[in-house]
A and B are shown apart, each in its own frame.
Chain A
């Protein structure tokens, strides 16, 4: 790394870490946040995590996550100027699924081409953000909101369509703690959110339609609250969500925590749901995650996770779980691979709950 780049990196790092201490907290790929001891908003624009990376996030990804940084000239920061920043993600890969009693299926496809645009008409105060999925299929807007920052970033207000704050925001939408609550990358909601940052504490409170991406259908709203405390070696938080819906209320709560022990970053979350919108009346559901991320050397991550799901606590022997083993390799900047195996276990009479999956994912972030 030459002196110019190093100087630039230090400037960006100091500036953005400083900004991060004053801004909202969120979790994108949470194990990285746990490993670094930083709030996820240090690396991501969205206060709910994921999506466009900040300048620091881009530089970190190109220099710290990768096994080696090739000399490609200036590092990419996504910053066009102080009023405009852009980014994107391309993901694709191959997967093979074995369902007992069925023919093995495999698939090779482009999973997603995402584009991010951040417009700052009044830098440090007002930001307009868009997250669009361009491919595959027809283009769709996932997030589109305006965010106002007040009190030197301690308070933020955003309005528009965005991903709701709830628990850990894993990349994997199929994880039980993401799929069962129904708060994931497929279900942005429209409304407003107020955020507060105070020291190591972060909080977001959102009021939205409660239609998981659909138009308003009744006068009831969905209320989401997420509070977290982030320390250098650990973090802990809680989420509460209540959807006041004509078709039946749903109340969700979760506790989540992260811990760094040497080269291992641990994640854990437990979600408890009370659902009144079922044909058989009130139902209580549990979902949980335990994940370990082991870094044997720079540019590598071995992820192991165990998930549990109880679809109805009043019914015995209906539980499901999922075991994942994933090797993530970051050979160089703008290039990531994930090779993984997942095994699902559920009731024997449902073959899909007992499937195995192998996958190879290629990811180009910029």
Chain B
């Protein structure tokens, strides 16, 4: 048998001599020449995320004709490959759902909570959560394309969350994206309104109810995003109408004083090419809502409080001791109550879904015991996201 000493020595010398990467002179964090693209501070904008996340961490694979799942994340393609595009691994979820980071597959893949496939970047160290939070914020702000600065044209609406004519849970906020920077002083409750139909789906018969939001403002992190904050507003199953004013005494203006071109004819962006015009769309609130009553009626009662499971009475013995048989019992058993399986964790930590054992059990990430509902079928992510919203908004009774 030939001794391997010489060959191994040769190999090790080769490694030692060759084991140095490029020195990075004149390059940005992605390894591209600074003359081509300078480093950009981390911020909740696509340009910054492109420079700090996609280029250095994703484009090794997600570029070119062989990009996995056809997802190309280079500068020229990331926006059009992500925003509003269905995931190919999980077709029920958009890669980026503007305004909804929890429902965006990109976030799930980065945070390692996607139901299919491995956490991204594949084989690499996870992106720090502090960096992912900027991705979340960009999505929360409407997932807009890069800013091109002020323009003399009338501003258009390019995105709305919830989407026009959509059906779903009552939103915790309404997010509007514009195609240019807006004048913050014109974004207020007089130019951005929400009413509900009064139960008949009509908005012209006098029984409508004006919704009073917590606030209406331009995003402090993105001058192209207006946010109506609905925290504390009780959602009611009904049809809702959103109006953004482009005509009348109070109108939304761009930073150069051009009025909103808001006419909506079934697709975005808005506008008829002429300055002025109101943006009027509707959405419906139906089904599971982020309230305990709704979660009780739709999930806890039919799925958890079944014979032999979480039926009560309250006590230390599981599963019956975690009583989910009524909204009152569920509130008493869950909210700010320590888990029996993992006493250091609250079953529902009000305001913090990620730290809530209920979420860990439903999503199958708990350290102890089986994923719930026991034996399945398990809740889909959109349902769990509604529970998350209820917890994150304070887990009110």
A residues in contact (CB < 8 Å) with B: 97, 99, 102, 105, 137-138, 140, 173-174, 179-183, 186-187, 210-215, 217, 222, 243-245, 247-250, 252, 261-264, 273, 275-280, 290, 292, 294, 304, 306, 308, 311-312, 315-321, 323, 343-350, 352-355
Complex CA–CA separation, A211 to B121 (angstroms): 19
B39 contacts across to A, CB distance below 8 A: 349
Interface positions, chain B 29-58, Cβ under 8 Å from A, are 29-33, 36, 39, 56-57
B12 contacts across to A, CB distance below 8 A: 304
Contact A320 B22, beta carbon cutoff 8 Å: yes
B51 to chain A minimum Cβ distance, whole angstroms, is: 12
Contact B70 A214, beta carbon cutoff 8 Å: yes
| Any A CB within 8 A of the CB of B317 | no
Contact B8 A212, beta carbon cutoff 8 Å: no
Given the interface pairs A279-B75, A315-B33, A355-B125, the reply to whether A212 lies near B67 with Cβ below 8 Å is: yes
User: Which 6 A-B pairs rank lowest in CB-CB distance, beginning with the nearest?
Assistant: A262-B2, A347-B24, A174-B123, A182-B66, A245-B65, A317-B22
Complex CA–CA separation, A187 to B65 (angstroms): 12
A215 contacts across to B, CB distance below 8 A: 70, 88
Among B36, B66, B74, B117, residue most surrounded by chain A Cβ atoms (within 10 Å):
B66
Contact B68 A187, beta carbon cutoff 8 Å: yes
A231 to chain B minimum Cβ distance, whole angstroms, is: 18
B29 contacts across to A, CB distance below 8 A: 347, 349-350
Chain A: which residue is nearest B69 at the CB level? A214
Contact B31 A350, beta carbon cutoff 8 Å: yes
B117 contacts across to A, CB distance below 8 A: 137, 140, 186
Contact A277 B63, beta carbon cutoff 8 Å: yes
A213 to chain B minimum Cβ distance, whole angstroms, is: 5
Complex CA–CA separation, A86 to B5 (angstroms): 42
Contact A316 B22, beta carbon cutoff 8 Å: yes
A250 to chain B minimum Cβ distance, whole angstroms, is: 4
B35 to chain A minimum Cβ distance, whole angstroms, is: 11
Complex CA–CA separation, A97 to B75 (angstroms): 28
A250 contacts across to B, CB distance below 8 A: 64-66
Complex CA–CA separation, A280 to B57 (angstroms): 18
Contact A137 B63, beta carbon cutoff 8 Å: no
Interface positions, chain B 114-128, Cβ under 8 Å from A, are 114-118, 121-126, 128
Complex CA–CA separation, A259 to B218 (angstroms): 66
Partner of A280, one of B18, B27, B36, B121: B36
19 contacts between A and B (CB under 8 A): A97-B125, A102-B128, A105-B125, A179-B60, A186-B122, A212-B66, A214-B71, A215-B70, A243-B65, A263-B1, A275-B65, A277-B74, A290-B14, A304-B8, A304-B11, A311-B31, A321-B18, A346-B31, A352-B121
B residues in contact (CB < 8 Å) with A: 1-4, 7-8, 11-12, 14-15, 18-33, 36, 39, 56-57, 60-61, 63-72, 74-77, 88-90, 114-118, 121-126, 128
Partner of A278, one of B18, B74, B121, B122: B74
Contact B21 A321, beta carbon cutoff 8 Å: yes
B4 contacts across to A, CB distance below 8 A: 261-264, 294
Chain B: which residue is nearest A274 at the CB level? B64
Contact A182 B67, beta carbon cutoff 8 Å: yes
B27 contacts across to A, CB distance below 8 A: 315, 317-318, 347, 349
Contact B65 A345, beta carbon cutoff 8 Å: no
B28 contacts across to A, CB distance below 8 A: 349
A210 contacts across to B, CB distance below 8 A: 65-66
Complex CA–CA separation, A245 to B60 (angstroms): 18
Contact A318 B65, beta carbon cutoff 8 Å: no
Contact A352 B124, beta carbon cutoff 8 Å: yes
Contact B31 A99, beta carbon cutoff 8 Å: no
A356 to chain B minimum Cβ distance, whole angstroms, is: 10
Partner of B7, one of A243, A261, A278, A318: A261
What 9 new A-B contacts, CB under 8 Å, besides A263-B1, A306-B19, A318-B24?
A97-B125, A137-B116, A183-B66, A215-B88, A217-B70, A277-B74, A317-B24, A320-B21, A350-B30
Chain B: which residue is nearest A292 at the CB level? B11
Contact A263 B2, beta carbon cutoff 8 Å: yes
A291 to chain B minimum Cβ distance, whole angstroms, is: 9
Given the interface pairs A317-B26, A352-B56, the reply to whether A174 lies near B115 with Cβ below 8 Å is: no
B89 to chain A minimum Cβ distance, whole angstroms, is: 8
Complex CA–CA separation, A345 to B21 (angstroms): 5
A243 to chain B minimum Cβ distance, whole angstroms, is: 4
Among B20, B39, B68, residue most surrounded by chain A Cβ atoms (within 10 Å):
B68
Chain A: which residue is nearest B50 at the CB level? A279
Chain B: which residue is nearest A295 at the CB level? B4
Contact A102 B125, beta carbon cutoff 8 Å: yes
Chain A: which residue is nearest B28 at the CB level? A349
Among B22, B25, B60, residue most surrounded by chain A Cβ atoms (within 10 Å):
B22
B118 contacts across to A, CB distance below 8 A: 186
Partner of A347, one of B22, B61, B64, B121: B22
Given the interface pairs A263-B1, A317-B24, the reply to whether A278 lies near B63 with Cβ below 8 Å is: yes
Complex CA–CA separation, A277 to B61 (angstroms): 12
B336 to chain A minimum Cβ distance, whole angstroms, is: 29
A346 contacts across to B, CB distance below 8 A: 21-22, 24, 31
Complex CA–CA separation, A263 to B68 (angstroms): 38
Complex CA–CA separation, A312 to B59 (angstroms): 12
A16 to chain B minimum Cβ distance, whole angstroms, is: 27
Contact A105 B126, beta carbon cutoff 8 Å: yes
B1 contacts across to A, CB distance below 8 A: 262-263
B37 to chain A minimum Cβ distance, whole angstroms, is: 9
A213 contacts across to B, CB distance below 8 A: 68-69, 88
Given the interface pairs A248-B64, A263-B2, the reply to whether A317 lies near B23 with Cβ below 8 Å is: yes
Contact B75 A173, beta carbon cutoff 8 Å: no
Contact A306 B15, beta carbon cutoff 8 Å: yes
Chain A: which residue is nearest B126 at the CB level? A105
Given the interface pairs A277-B72, A279-B74, A350-B30, the reply to whether A304 lies near B15 with Cβ below 8 Å is: yes
B91 to chain A minimum Cβ distance, whole angstroms, is: 10
Chain B: which residue is nearest A283 at the CB level? B64
A189 to chain B minimum Cβ distance, whole angstroms, is: 9
Chain B: which residue is nearest A102 at the CB level? B128
